[in-house]
Every structure is written in C-alpha cells, then in structure tokens.
Amino acid sequence: QVHVVESGGGSVQAGGSLRLSCAVSGYTISRKCIAWFRQAPGKEREGVALITTDDSSTYYVDSVKGRFTASQDNAKDTVYLQMNSLKPEDTAMYYCAAHDQIRRYGCTLSPPVFASWGQGTQVTVSS
C-alpha cells in the first residue's frame, strides 16, 4: 500500500537542469528515508542522494555533490532532486526508494533496506 512515484525525467543538453519529484504515500510514520538511485544500461545500480524527511538531512555521492540538491515538500510528502550542470554520464534511469526503518537500518544508500521503489524516470543528457 506504500506507493512511490517518480516524475520529472527527460532529455536535456549537457549543462542543463532537471528536477525530479518523488511522491511517497502510504506510510504512517512521518520520519522516512528517501533515496535516489540510478542505473544506466550495462552498469550497476548506484546510489545518488538521500534525505531524511523529518529533519531534511541529506547525503550525496561525490559524483553529484555540488550539482544535485535534494529537498522535501512536507505538505505533499514529496521529495525533489534538483539536478544542475548535468553531464552525459548522468544519463540513467533514476529510481526513488523509501523506507521508514531508520532506527533499525539508518538512512544510507543501501538498496536492500528500501522496501518501496518507484517505477523509475529516465534522464538523458546529450553532449
């Protein structure tokens, strides 16, 4: 009954920007860990960023640090990933994932602990 829905992907030229949205519903616990992962064809899934929704604490992998920013809309229970200065290597299917077991697992970019995943939204960056 937990639903995670991503949107906002598209095709942009290198240096451009996109803002991804992740709408999460069905949780009764307000404190959630929401993460962004991405996977390019032929490559392993990699973590990108995460946010803890109660205090908006965030984490970014080095490859996107300074370019991507995660934020939350508390009223709509939506997380955003603002992606600036996009590079061709950012091209991937981007997935949003969520869990509410922060006390047990923490909030880290570890795919197995995320029980709920969105369908993915494609980001394509051309040179």
Span 9-60, pLDDT tens digits: 999 999 999 999 999 999 888 899 999 999 999 999 999 999 999 888 999 9
Own/partner pairs for 112-117, CB < 8 Å, 24+ apart? 114/33, 114/35, 115/2, 116/2, 116/3, 116/4, 116/24, 116/26, 117/4
Give the pair of three-digit tokens for residue 17.
């920007």
Which residues does residue 114 pair with via DSSP β-bridges, in sequence order? none
Nearest residue to 14 (alpha-carbon basis) of 93, 94, 80, 84: 84
Task: Tell me how crowded residue 14 is: count the other CB atoms within 10 A of its CB.
Answer: 14
pLDDT tens-digit profile of 49-103?
Answer: 999 998 889 999 999 999 999 999 876 689 999 999 999 999 999 999 999 999 9
Looking at residue 108, its pLDDT comes to 96
The predicted pLDDT at position 76 comes to: 64
Cα–Cα distance measured from residue 12 to residue 18, given in angstroms and rounded to the nearest whole number: 8
